[in-house]
Amino acid sequence: MPSVQGRFSEETQERIKSDSFYGQTHISLSAIEARLEALRDALTLPGLEALLEGAVEARRQALEEERRRMRAQLALEEGARPATWLAGSDDLAPGSFDLLTVRMLYPA
């Protein structure tokens, strides 16, 4: 496994060695390397892509349902005058997605 030594600025390395790095009292470079390895394992999990795509699809369906309810509510409020500006607002298709965060539970 490659070392993280030299991958961080001197300032970051000093923060790692200090008492205020992410609320931890001390975290060594070897501990960071272990966490990076665990993160690498998590991000290369077989089937991860399918899990993420499933989550995107579930969110798409939830948004469509939310918008259908919104259209129905507005139709009740507007009466005979339909909210034409909402036409198609519940017809969603996934474009792309990015993994923005990963939460890992790592033993202390």
d(CA 42, CA 37): 9
Residue 104 lies inside a defined structural domain of this protein? no
Please indicate, yes or no, whether residues 52 and 27 belong to a single structural domain of this protein: no
pTM for the full predicted model: 0.55
Please indicate, yes or no, whether residues 40 and 51 belong to a single structural domain of this protein: no
Residue 105 lies inside a defined structural domain of this protein? no
Residue 35 lies inside a defined structural domain of this protein? yes
Q: Per-residue pLDDT tens for 17-51?
A: 664 545 555 667 787 888 888 888 888 889 988 98
d(CA 47, CA 39): 15
Give the least confident one: 39-43, 50-54, 94-98: 94-98
Residue 99 lies inside a defined structural domain of this protein? no
21 burial type by CB count under 10 A (0-12 exposed, 13-18 middle, 19+ buried): middle
Please indicate, yes or no, whether residues 85 and 57 belong to a single structural domain of this protein: yes
Domains of the chain: total: 2
Examine the pLDDT at 57 and tell me if it is beyond 50.
yes
Please indicate, yes or no, whether residues 56 and 39 belong to a single structural domain of this protein: no
What is the rounded (10 degree) CA torsion for 84, 86, 92, 98? Answer: 150
Structural domain for 27, as ranges: 1-44
Residue 53 lies inside a defined structural domain of this protein? yes
